[in-house]
Structure 1
Amino acid sequence: MIEVTDIRKSFTVRSRAGGLRRRRTTVRAVDGISFTVAPGEFVGYLGPNGAGKSTTIKMLTGILSPGSGTVRMDGLDPSRRRTALARRIGVVFGQRTTLWWDLPLRDSLTLIRHLYRVDARDHRARLAELTDLLDLGPFLGTPVRQLSLGQRMRGDLAAALLHDPPILVLDEPTIGLDVVSKATVRGFLERVNVERGTTILLTTHDLGDIERLCRRVMIIDHGRLAYDGDLERLRAEVAADRVLVVDLVRPAPPVELPGVAVERVEGPRQWLRVPRGTNAAAVVAALADRAEIADIALREPDIEDVVTRLYRDGGLIAAEPAG
Structure 2
Amino acid sequence: MPVIELENVSRAFTVSTRTGLRRTRREVRAVDDLSFTVEPGEVMGYIGPNGAGKSTTIKMLTGILVPTGGSIRVAGVDPSRHRMKLARRIGVVFGQRTTLWWDLPLKDSFAVLQKMYDVPRARHAENLATFVELLDLGDLLDVPVRQLSLGQRMRGDIAAALLHDPEIVYLDEPTIGLDIISKARLREFLAQVNKDRRTTIILTTHDLDDIEALCSRVMVIDHGHQVFDGTLAGLRASQSAPRTLVVDLATSLPPITIEGATVVKVDGPRQHLSFPATTSAAPLVAQIAATYPLVDLSVAEPTIESIIARLYATTPTTA
* TM-score, scaled to structure 2: 0.94
Report the alpha carbon displacement of residue 140 of structure 1 after superposing the two structures with TM. 0.3
Once the two structures are superposed, what CA deviation does each residue of 1:177-229 show, in whole Å capped at 9, x if it has no partner? Answer: 11111111111100110001111111111111111111111111111111111
Aligned residue in 2 for 1:58: 59
Report the alpha carbon displacement of residue 259 of structure 1 after superposing the two structures with TM. 6.2
For 1:173, the aligned partner's letter is P
- SS in structure 1 opposite 2:97? coil
Q: In structure 2, do the counterparts of structure 1 residues 249 and 140 end up closer, same or farther at CA, with 3 Å as the change threshold?
A: same
Once the two structures are superposed, what CA deviation does each residue of 1:88-130 show, in whole Å capped at 9, x if it has no partner? Answer: 1000001100001111101111111111122223222221222
Report the alpha carbon displacement of residue 290 of structure 1 after superposing the two structures with TM. 4.8
Paired positions, count: 315
Q: In structure 2, do the counterparts of structure 1 residues 23 and 281 end up closer, same or farther at CA, with 3 Å as the change threshold?
A: farther
Aligned residue in 2 for 1:13: 15
For 1:229, the aligned partner's letter is G
Q: In structure 2, do the counterparts of structure 1 residues 295 and 22 end up closer, same or farther at CA, with 3 Å as the change threshold?
A: same
Once the two structures are superposed, what CA deviation does each residue of 1:121-180 show, in whole Å capped at 9, x if it has no partner? Answer: 322222122212211110000000100111101110111111111111110101111111
Q: How does 1:205-244 map to 2 (within 5 A)?
A: 205-244=206-245
For 1:183, the aligned partner's letter is A
List gaps (5 residues or longer) in structure 1: 317-323
CA contact (8 A) 1:226 1:315 kept: no
Aligned residue in 2 for 1:313: 314
For 1:113, the aligned partner's letter is Q
Q: In structure 2, do the counterparts of structure 1 residues 65 and 291 end up closer, same or farther at CA, with 3 Å as the change threshold?
A: same
Aligned residue in 2 for 1:179: 180
Aligned residue in 1 for 2:246: 245
Is 1:162 aligned to 2:163, yes or no?
yes
For residues 140 and 286 of structure 2, the distance between their equivalents in structure 1, rounded to whole angstroms, comes to 59
For 1:156, the aligned partner's letter is D
For residues 201 and 245 of structure 1, the distance between their equivalents in structure 2, rounded to whole angstroms, comes to 36
Q: How does 1:21-170 map to 2 (within 5 A)?
A: 21-170=22-171
Report the alpha carbon displacement of residue 285 of structure 1 after superposing the two structures with TM. 4.1
* TM-score, scaled to structure 1: 0.93
Across the aligned residues of Structure 1 and Structure 2, the Cα RMSD in angstroms comes to: 1.7
Q: In structure 2, do the counterparts of structure 1 residues 289 and 33 end up closer, same or farther at CA, with 3 Å as the change threshold?
A: same
List gaps (5 residues or longer) in structure 2: none
Aligned residue in 1 for 2:6: 4
Report the alpha carbon displacement of residue 315 of structure 1 after superposing the two structures with TM. 5.8
Aligned residue in 2 for 1:320: none
For residues 244 and 210 of structure 1, the distance between their equivalents in structure 2, rounded to whole angstroms, comes to 25
CA contact (8 A) 1:16 1:22 kept: yes
Once the two structures are superposed, what CA deviation does each residue of 1:231-287 show, in whole Å capped at 9, x if it has no partner? Answer: 111111211111110111210122344664322211110111213334533433444
Report the alpha carbon displacement of residue 305 of structure 1 after superposing the two structures with TM. 1.9
For residues 122 and 294 of structure 2, the distance between their equivalents in structure 1, rounded to whole angstroms, comes to 67
Aligned residue in 2 for 1:199: 200
CA contact (8 A) 1:94 1:153 kept: yes
CA contact (8 A) 2:260 2:284 kept: no
For 2:27, the aligned partner's letter is T
